[in-house]
Structure 1
Amino acid sequence: MTSNLFLTRASFAADLAHFGDRPAVLTEGSTLSYRELAGRVEAFAARLGTQRRLVALAAANDLDSLIAYLAALTAGHPLILVPGDKPAALDSIVAAYDPDVVLRSGGFPSFEERRPGTVHELHPELALLVSTSGSTGSPKLVRLSHENLQSNAEAIAGYLAIGPEDRAATTLPLSYCYGLSVINSHLLRGAGLVLTDLSVVDPCFWELFRAHGVSSFAAVPYTFELLERVGFAALDLPSLRYVTQAGGRLAPEQVRRYAALGSERGWDLFVMYGATEATARMAYLPPDLAASHPGTIGIAVPGGAFRIDPVPGLDDGELVYTGPNVMLGYAEVPADLALGRTVEELRTGDLARRHPNGLYEVVGRRSRFLKIVGLRVDLGQVERILDGLGVRALSTGTDERLVVAAEGGADVRLLGKVLAQQLGLPRAAVEVHGVDRLPRLSSGKPDYPAVLALAAASVGAVQEEPSAGDGPEDLRRIYAEHLECGAVRDEDTFVSLGGDSLSYVALSVRLEKVLGALPADWHLMRVGDLARPARKAYPARRFLAPLETSIVLRAVAIIFIISTHVGLFTWPGTAHVLMAVAGYNFARFQLAGERVARLRRQIRSLGRIVVPSVAFIAFAYLVTDRYSLANIALLNSLIGPRHVTAEWQFWFVEVLVYVLIFLLALLALPWVDRAERAAPFAFPLALTALGMLGRYDLPHISVPHTAPVLWLVGLGWLMARSRTTLQRAVVTVIAVLSVPGFFDDAAREATLLGGLLLLTWLPAIPLPRRLHRPVGVLASSSLYAYLTHWLVFPLLEPFSPALAVGASLAAGVVYWALTQRIVGAAGRVRARRAPGPRKAPVTETASTR
């Protein structure tokens, strides 16, 4: 339905081989030359085919995504870019535009060819389609041509004087026009790209920065806040040549400060102004003027020009930009892909003035847009989203927070979460207030200042409310106590601080007691965001509240395991449910950050299992004659007796450790790490398939007295990665087909299957709030109760099985609490002895990359 011809190619993508053996892409463990990159791009372009097709790419900051992007450009396939970490955004684009090919986080591992040809009419100039300023909640896309991309890359490379010796780190997402412009402009000049998704608060990022001699650093305003926290001013960065800033207005005092710092340390600060509709950049402030004119956006980029059109009733006019990088126009439906140029200039919507020296200054916005953490938020779209949910609302806010008034008795907490997800904003940046009636002026028009006042009133009310234990300092203390670290900062998250399944339960219960109901993704939220007083505006607590299914399963399983061993009642099968829970939690807590950061976290988590287990088993070895040195070394399953003895009592711990060591070793391989990132659902699916070999004893290798569990751990991992109904259905089918026959015990298999289905389909189970803490304590101490009960229950079983069960659980709680105190104290001692401030860990906020 479309021609194979298109008008131009962007040379920065098509002429890669021109730079020969110069380094093009540098990662933590490898370097790819321009010649090699060109070969991979050519191979992938061949896979896309010669007939032009519409391609959608869920892009990450990885090599596969870069290759797919460049291949689509060189082969002339119009490409829709969406963030790889927002599945809902891709689903929305696929539903709205029906692409012919869908690529998820990089190409080869997830090449979904939906049809051999195309059903679309594609204009010859169309090269790229992207959401405005990183917005992911709307199918409205910017249509960019090859000329747009090429001209803007040339302009940027020109005023930044990018040369072949330069190297840029991917501190911003490839799917964001600012991040993409860094890639385009550097490839144009044969410079190197240091591909990474590490956050700037991760020490590993700066190690990579220095190791590869990075010369340019791209930042949005929020990035500068993080730089303050990592002590950027004191970092030794001899290769740094310049810092660029865009993505929103940086406060003039910050511009002055960083311009002065750059002058002192030998690098330049380029303040820039742009929009997706202009492919990226429209203006830049020459570094020598940053200190004296910090409030301006500077001058137009080479090839571009500004004018200011009057706005009736206002002193300042609207800034209008013209240049070869101005988009072809917008697309809102597939038919728009056939359109050519529909705009000749870009009306920015910003109110501006021109200084006598020729510098432009933006003084306000004409239309109703906010820019929060570098993302442009259309307030009209916010109200349309809520209207689609049957909620009448008004929205306003600042460049720090979206404020919404919702009419009626809607669940404001749920609405806030929905808006954050659809708009791609941090949850803490969305504030929803319930009102009886929407505020309006006497004329009947919406009273937006009254909506904004709701935020101030909420904070004021909270500050007057006497409460203890809910301030930032208290939350940081709680995190430090539970995660055995000496200091916690506002930008830290549970995952970045090394939290795992053992510490997750106790901390979540403690936080819920302090803050009320927690968001489902609280373990990925910054401590500072959880501590915000606005959380007090949430509805009053109800009798029942949801508790995560994985937590409930852990508590129930340890009760059933001990009761079965004691003989209070018999209900086998729950130990293998816990194996699936282990895989589920491994995927949630152990897979964040770069490979080295992951490995460190996985080793720490493994140590939290091995150390208390070995310590207790050694104690049991000394006070009884039941166990051997093989038990202490956790090797009984491999070298212990082949017949059933007491030495087999710790099989669960041993096999769990074996599986975790296998996963740690597997993910330590760089190519495996890349495969897992590129295919987050397919990878555990393959791991489950590998585990099925043991499940069905295909190699005829088995460990006596234990059942193979890798497939269960893989299934748990797969459950954690299931984002859609189809994916959960796939997991269900695998479970239903593989569980029967596993034990040759129908009741035991029903227990295992029931646990798997609960974990797959029911994220939380409503429980009385009074039970949350005891259930959480039992779940947290489940490993310790499993260890200790072997010594406790034989002493009491002859008198009372129920007492034996209760005492075994209590002993586990005591051992858990004792271990927590010892490890916490050790962590604080290490922190006090460590030189200098604690190294800041990785945070997973996409906008800071």
Structure 2
Amino acid sequence: MHLFDKEKIYGDRLLAVDDRDRNVTYDQLDSFSGELYRKVGGKKLIFILCENTIESLSGYLGCLKTGIVPLMLDSHIHPSLLNGLIREYHPAFLYIPKTCIEKIEDSEVIWQFGGYCLCERNEKMPPALYCELSLLLTTSGSTGSPKLVRQSSWNIDANGKSIACYLEIDANERPITTLPMNYTYGLSVFNSHVLMGCTLLLTTYGVLEPDFWGFARKKRATSLAGVPYTYQILKRIGFMDMDLPDLKTMTQAGGKMPPRLHKEFALYAKRTNRKLIVMYGQTEATARMGYLPADKTLEKCGSMGIAIPGGRFWLENEQGNEIIEPDIPGELVYQGKNVTLGYACCKDDLIKQDEWKGVLHTGDIASRDSEGYYYITGRKKRFIKVSGSRVNLDEVERLLKEQYEGIDFACVGTDDNLTIFMDQLILDGGEEIIEYLYQVTGIGNRTAAVKCVDQIPKNESGKTLYKELETTADNRIQSK
């Protein structure tokens, strides 16, 4: 795997430092990987319960280096969901924090490394694994869905090299962790920086905690990554007034940032001589597919940019024909070596070879301007019909968030039935919101309702969990 081609050169260079002042070198990773392989005994399936720690990072990279195939899961996954996945995929081993031992069944601890345990299962029906299969990630956050994305070594290598290229990463970079390791965006930060011999700053603190910023300053963090929700929090806690002398780069992915917020951080980056790079990706493409160059972040505010080095975008209409003219929406299609092998829904799928052949229909609706920059406008399946006209639910959310700054919205619905969820209690029965929506879109009060919730449910990457909205809803309000 090319990710580790220069590991011997990096030698005693620090691979990672954590918030407890522990560290690990590239040489030590090599030793750990050899021991892990001896314990596991070959190319087998292992579940890793992830945390942003040295033990978790070592387990992940040790698997990639030796050909062991990990499924990356949140360490906070509910035991019933974890054991459901175990029953579906029959892993031979689990690599987990000691604090998670009580979550697992029928396993024996055979090795301990710091705060982690390698547990062997008495598995009589292990899955057959495709020779090029290197990594498994979930498609649905913490829901426990058995649907996984199958990634190969060449997918990971290609995406890591491309990201390192357009972000201009060199060995002096020191990214701080702000995203979970089981999330494709978080992993892409690790892969692209390990490739270049950087030092990762690992912390379990969140950006709302003072200790996070103390660690960032002490260890001279040069970059941070976030989803749109991260940047909403950063604005709220006064990030733009913080003293962070070593910070050079901010990246954003995991959904479209509201244009107003995008512009605020772009102006901040320009004022402080930093780079803001907005990116676009999916787990199905290993991580990144598109990026907006830092020098275009104001001029093309709201755009997800252009294809990454080595990739290509185009748009297709409903008949599957390529759209040539600018400013016409269609489904965004991507081609590149980072497009993954396909999905798995059960253990028998893990032997499958490359099903997608480097082409991914993203399911996102986008338009392209006359200069070749792409703008995401919604999801292909996030449409309803109101009075016979198509309504883009993502676009309704965008309109409301821009009109009512500081309030989070989420929209769901069926034909002629739009429900708007918001995270603040309102006193006028939602009439102002319904009236605004009618004036802008023509959607009237007979087809729209407002519901208040304590908060809009999100997954670990900050994306809205639409299926959970109904169970969290209270105080249903409908315009009269």
Same fold by TM-score, threshold 0.5 exceeded?
yes
Which residue in the other structure is 1:189 paired with? 196
1:363 to 374, 377, 396: 377
Pairing of 1:235-384 with structure 2 (within 5 A): 235-312=242-319, 315-344=328-357, 345-368=359-382
Is the partner of 2:58 in helix, strand or coil? helix
Would you say 1:172 and 2:179 are equivalent positions? yes
Structure 1 CA distance, aligned partners of 2:16 and 2:184? 19
- The structure in which a higher percent of residues are helix is 1
Contact 1:53 1:117 in 2 (8 A): no
Contact 2:48 2:95 in 1 (8 A): yes
Change (3 A) 1:225 1:215: same
Change (3 A) 1:359 1:430: closer
Is the partner of 2:338 in helix, strand or coil? coil
1:141 to 145, 148, 158: 148
Pairing of 1:756-835 with structure 2 (within 5 A): none
Contact 1:58 1:90 in 2 (8 A): no
Is the partner of 2:375 in helix, strand or coil? strand
Is the partner of 1:110 in helix, strand or coil? strand
Would you say 1:204 and 2:211 are equivalent positions? yes
Structure 2 CA distance, aligned partners of 1:45 and 1:118? 20
Which residue in the other structure is 2:11 paired with? 20
1:350 to partner: Cα distance? 1.1
Contact 1:198 1:205 in 2 (8 A): yes
Which residue in the other structure is 1:100 paired with? 92
Structure 1 CA distance, aligned partners of 2:140 and 2:476? 30
AA of the residue aligned to 2:379: R
AA of the residue aligned to 1:32: V
Structure 2 CA distance, aligned partners of 1:92 and 1:216? 37
Which residue in the other structure is 1:817 paired with? none
AA of the residue aligned to 2:175: A
AA of the residue aligned to 1:204: D
- After TM superposition, the structure 1 stretch with the greater mean CA deviation from structure 2, 70-79 or 138-147, is 70-79
1:450 to 395, 413, 417: 417
Pairing of 1:643-654 with structure 2 (within 5 A): none
Structure 1 CA distance, aligned partners of 2:299 and 2:429? 42
Structure 1 CA distance, aligned partners of 2:411 and 2:364? 25
Contact 1:54 1:118 in 2 (8 A): no
AA of the residue aligned to 1:357: E
Is the partner of 1:262 in helix, strand or coil? helix
Structure 1 CA distance, aligned partners of 2:95 and 2:409? 30
AA of the residue aligned to 1:111: L
Contact 1:319 1:352 in 2 (8 A): yes
Change (3 A) 1:302 1:459: same
Structure 2 CA distance, aligned partners of 1:169 and 1:369? 37
Change (3 A) 1:349 1:221: same
Structure 2 CA distance, aligned partners of 1:14 and 1:369? 46
Would you say 1:217 and 2:228 are equivalent positions? no
Pairing of 1:690-709 with structure 2 (within 5 A): none
1:92 to partner: Cα distance? 2.9
Taking structure 2 as the reference length, the TM-score comes to: 0.76
Structure 1 CA distance, aligned partners of 2:45 and 2:124? 9
Is the partner of 1:292 in helix, strand or coil? coil
1:46 to partner: Cα distance? 2.2
Q: Which runs of 5+ in 1 are unaligned?
A: 1-8, 371-395, 402-427, 433-445, 466-517, 520-532, 539-849
Change (3 A) 1:209 1:319: same
Which residue in the other structure is 1:612 paired with? none
Which residue in the other structure is 2:59 paired with? 68
Is the partner of 1:452 in helix, strand or coil? strand
Is the partner of 2:367 in helix, strand or coil? strand
1:264 to partner: Cα distance? 1.2
Which residue in the other structure is 1:120 paired with? 127
1:59 to 50, 54, 66: 50
1:240 to partner: Cα distance? 0.8
Change (3 A) 1:430 1:320: closer
AA of the residue aligned to 1:332: C
1:151 to partner: Cα distance? 0.6
Is the partner of 2:419 in helix, strand or coil? helix
1:132 to partner: Cα distance? 2.2
Structure 1 CA distance, aligned partners of 2:310 and 2:140? 22
Taking structure 1 as the reference length, the TM-score comes to: 0.44
Structure 2 CA distance, aligned partners of 1:288 and 1:267? 11
Contact 2:378 2:393 in 1 (8 A): no
1:14 to partner: Cα distance? 6.4
Is the partner of 1:64 in helix, strand or coil? helix
Which residue in the other structure is 1:31 paired with? 23
Contact 1:133 1:177 in 2 (8 A): no
1:161 to 161, 168, 173: 168
1:347 to partner: Cα distance? 0.1
AA of the residue aligned to 1:93: L
1:251 to partner: Cα distance? 1.3
1:585-626 per-position Cα deviation (integer Å, ceiling 9, x unaligned): xxxxxxxxxxxxxxxxxxxxxxxxxxxxxxxxxxxxxxxxxx
1:236 to partner: Cα distance? 1.0
1:152 to partner: Cα distance? 0.3
1:294 to partner: Cα distance? 0.8
Is the partner of 1:73 in helix, strand or coil? helix
Structure 1 CA distance, aligned partners of 2:370 and 2:415? 35
Contact 2:69 2:136 in 1 (8 A): yes
AA of the residue aligned to 1:266: N
Structure 2 CA distance, aligned partners of 1:431 and 1:310? 25
Which residue in the other structure is 1:591 paired with? none
Is the partner of 2:62 in helix, strand or coil? helix
Change (3 A) 1:97 1:304: same
1:452 to partner: Cα distance? 1.2
AA of the residue aligned to 2:23: T
AA of the residue aligned to 1:177: T
Contact 2:339 2:360 in 1 (8 A): yes
Structure 2 CA distance, aligned partners of 1:118 and 1:152? 33
Contact 1:16 1:37 in 2 (8 A): no
Is the partner of 2:55 in helix, strand or coil? helix
1:448-478 per-position Cα deviation (integer Å, ceiling 9, x unaligned): 451515x48x966x6559xxxxxxxxxxxxx
1:48 to 40, 44, 65: 40
Is the partner of 1:134 in helix, strand or coil? coil
Percent identity for Structure 1 against Structure 2: 36
Contact 2:155 2:337 in 1 (8 A): yes
AA of the residue aligned to 1:34: Y
AA of the residue aligned to 1:159: Y
1:12 to partner: Cα distance? 2.2
1:191 to partner: Cα distance? 0.5
2:137 to 127, 130, 134: 130
Contact 1:152 1:325 in 2 (8 A): yes
AA of the residue aligned to 1:104: I
Contact 2:382 2:393 in 1 (8 A): no
Structure 1 CA distance, aligned partners of 2:311 and 2:139? 20
Contact 2:82 2:144 in 1 (8 A): no
Contact 1:317 1:353 in 2 (8 A): yes
Is the partner of 2:150 in helix, strand or coil? strand
1:459-498 per-position Cα deviation (integer Å, ceiling 9, x unaligned): 66x6559xxxxxxxxxxxxxxxxxxxxxxxxxxxxxxxxx
1:235 to partner: Cα distance? 0.7
Contact 2:29 2:62 in 1 (8 A): no
Change (3 A) 1:369 1:90: farther
1:231 to partner: Cα distance? 0.8
- The structure in which a higher percent of residues are strand is 2
Give the structure with higher Rg (CA). Answer: 1
Structure 1 CA distance, aligned partners of 2:364 and 2:429? 38
Change (3 A) 1:15 1:334: farther
